Structure 1
Amino acid sequence: MKQTLAIAAAAAAGVLLATQSSLPAQASTSSTFDSTSNPVLFVHGYTGDATNWNTMAGRFRTDGWPSSYLDQWSYDWRQSNATTAQQLSTEVDRLLTATGAARVDIVSHSMGGLSSRYYLKNLGGGSKVDAWVSLGGPNHGTDSANSCFDTSCTEMRIGSGFLAALNSGDETPGSPRYATWWSPCDTVINPDTSVSLSGATNTKTACLSHTGLFSDATVYAQTRDMINH
């Protein structure tokens, strides 16, 4: 009898262990990292740096993205966005070489959307980028840029020559998939309608601050699903 109970207990333990070991696979979805996922290049905004993305990059890692596929890139945010775009081009090539991937996904915050759009439109980036994301980007300018005077900041002013050229013709050129997220409570991007682009999937978020856009869990999940489609 004791031997029978021991055998039954061992069998039950084996079933439990098998169930526990299978949980991660069962919990995963088509939106998590797989063989078709691209490396992600994060582009911060004005006065930002690579650490802005710590929360979002951490969530990507939790969802299975290897650290080598998550590039929290930094640049001199005072320089022209056109200069940053040239440096971004070099970084994209470096990331593709390092990972062996064919294309990258770009996730940008605020002004980071301008240099990355310039790269797509003017520097051949369309063939190397699968999905492009703008979180609170001043894609048509913002009045908050009237109070700062770095070259990059003046380019964010409503009606600037930089934005006029960037938005001329097709706002979402080439084959990349474009998506934007904007918050009705973002006091940095004014007007709110500045973020949305013709030809992009434009999403209104909950009442989030400008910096809340890159730390919010819902925005993260939507961004992850969009780029990993």
Structure 2
Amino acid sequence: MNPIVLIHGFMDQSAVFNSMFLYLENQGYNVHAIDLTPCYGTADLKVLAQQVKEYIDKTFEKEEKVNLLGFSMGGLVTRYYLQKLGGVEKVDKYINVSAPNNGTIMAYLLPFLGIKQMRPQSDFLLDLNKDINESLSKVKCLFLWTPFDLMIFPPKSSIMKPFPVERIPVLTHKWMISDRRVLERVNKFLKEK
């Protein structure tokens, strides 16, 4: 099984993945979770994506494939790594969980650069979304979202067609990485051929 790298979101650290980390370890996966710095929305998401690239390049053999999961802001950071920093050559499977793929109006609450990049129609998102089909075609993808998300608003902003998208009715944004249904779906996806 390929190792899996978990990338957290805004105001989080790798510890946010404790439930998922333990669940996946118990399923036999080699699990990694890194701390993006700074994680407060002040940094350009491109800079955080570079941190993901550096970690993966340093930690794994050049020819070794990994699986990647990005949660919330981490979903945009990981997409930038895949689409713009050559990550598609390194990643076999990609899971995007409750990310503001088409922006969130909650990003109007703070004036920081990384937060502004998460606003609907931001230059960052327009650039990232214009070639998504072509740039992610080499990777097996799964996008997960909940209709009850109040951080990603509207919640359907997480949906990225034509990729496989699944709605899991989890009651809060943060629970999307600890809810048993999500953990089981992630495991099932990782085990698919």
Normalised-by-shorter TM-score class: over 0.9
Output one character per residue of 1:23-53: Cα deviation in whole Å (capped at 9) or x when no partner.
Answer: xxxxxxxxxxxxxx11110000011101010
Aligned to 2:157: 194
Runs of 4+ in 1 over 3 A off after TM superposition: none
Whole-Å separation in 2 of the counterparts to 1:106 and 1:54: 16
In 1, the alpha carbon distance for the partners of 2:161 and 2:147 equals: 19
> Normalising by the residue count of structure 2, what TM-score does the alignment of the two structures yield?
0.92
Pair 1:156-2:84 in alignment: no
CA-to-partner distance for each residue in 1:84-134, whole Å, 9 max, x for gaps? 11111111112313xx87211111110101111111111111010011111
Partner SS state of residue 158, structure 1: coil
Q: TM-score, normalised by structure 1?
A: 0.78
Q: Percent identity?
A: 27
Decide which of 59, 64, 84 is 1:95's aligned counterpart. 59
Matched pairs, number: 188
Q: In terms of Rg, which structure is larger?
A: 1
Give the alignment partner of residue 175 of structure 2, picking from 212, 217, 227. 212
> Distance between the aligned counterparts of 1:63 and 1:208, measured in 2?
25
Aligned to 2:33: 72
Higher helix share: 1
User: Gaps (5+ residues) in structure 1?
Assistant: 1-36
Q: Which residue of structure 1 lines up, in the alignment, with residue 49 of structure 2?
A: 85
The unaligned stretches of length 5 or more in structure 2 are none
Map 1:1-229 to 2 at 5 A. 37-65=1-29, 69-76=30-37, 77=39, 78-97=42-61, 102-171=64-133, 173-229=136-192
Cα distance in structure 2, aligned partners of 1:106 and 1:209: 22
